[in-house]
Amino acid sequence: MKLYYGNGKCSIEGFTERIAIIISYSGAIEIDDLTPDGYAIAAGSNKISIFPYQLTEAALGDLFNYIGTLKITKADIADTNGMVQTTVHKVMDYSELLNSNAEDMTIISEDLSAGYTSHRKIAKTILKQKIIPNLDTSDGALFYLPDDTVYSGAYHIHLTDSTAMTGGEHTNDSVLLKSKVIRKRRRKRTMAQHSSTASNVRIPPDMVGKKSGGSGGGY
C-alpha cells in the first residue's frame, strides 16, 4: 500500500478494505475526517489512528484533510491477515518543484521552509469530528444509566476518551453511560462488566485519553 500526504490532504492506495492504520508523525494539525461510514479517526501522543468501528466493506481512499504542520515518520497498517507492507510518500508542493538559483528566487525563505505546513500552524492536534454518532444498543452494546438500570436506545462515543453517552448526537441533555455495575454482597464483590464501547467499536488503547504532543508508542 501507499500512503500519500501533503498540501493539506492524506490518502491511501491499494487493497484498502477492512484495514486499520496508525500514523506516527510530528507536528500539530486539525483533522477533518474523510473516511467512509463505518470508519473513525482518533488522535493522541503524536499518532493518528484510522479504524473500522463496525462491520463494513467500504474501501479507504481519501483519509483526511488537515490544517497545520504534518510530517509523517511511519505508517503501520494491518488487515485481517496481519501487518501490511506500506510506503509513505510526501506530495510535493510548489516550493519543492522550484528549480531556480537562490539569487534568482523572489519567494522568502520562510515560505520555502514551510513544506510540511498547510494553510497555517496550529498549537495542538484536534479532531473536527469528535464523536462516533448515531449508534444504537441494538448493535449488542450493554450500558447502564446512572441509576444502574440498563439503557436501551441511541448513543454516541467520544473519540477523545472512549466514553459513551445517550443520544445519537451530543447535546446538553446527553447522559454519561456506565459500562459496568458493581454490587457489594457482604464481604464479596461481584462485577458485571462489559466493553465501554459498542461490541464492534475498537478504539485503539493508545489513542484513548491521551493528549497530542507526548511520546508515541506502537501497536
Render pLDDT for 101-110 as a digit per residue (tens, 0 to 9): 545 444 444 4
Spatial neighbors of 49 by CB under 8 A, at least 6 apart, are 20, 21, 22, 23, 41, 42, 43, 203, 204, 206, 207
Same domain, 105 and 144: no
Query: What would the pLDDT profile of 64-103 be if each residue is shown by its tens digit?
Result: 999 999 999 999 999 988 999 999 999 865 544 444 454 5
In-domain check, residue 164: yes
> CA 186 to CA 167: how far, in whole Å?
36
Q: Which of 3-12, 53-62, 192-201 has the lowest mean pLDDT?
A: 192-201
Q: What is the pLDDT of residue 191?
A: 31
Q: What is the pTM of this model?
A: 0.72
Same domain, 71 and 18: yes
Enclosing domain of residue 178: 131-193
Spatial neighbors of 15 by CB under 8 A, at least 6 apart, are 1, 59, 79
Q: CB burial class (10 A; 0-12, 13-18, 19+) of residue 108?
A: exposed
How many other CB atoms are found less than 10 A from the CB of residue 129? 16
How many structural domains are present in the chain?
Answer: 2
> CA 112 to CA 204: how far, in whole Å?
36
Q: What is the pLDDT of residue 184?
A: 54
Same domain, 136 and 108: no
Last residue of a domain, one of 113, 129, 145: 129
How many other CB atoms are found less than 10 A from the CB of residue 40? 23
In-domain check, residue 23: yes
Spatial neighbors of 169 by CB under 8 A, at least 6 apart, are 131, 133, 134, 156
> Contact, 131 vs 146, CB < 8 A?
no
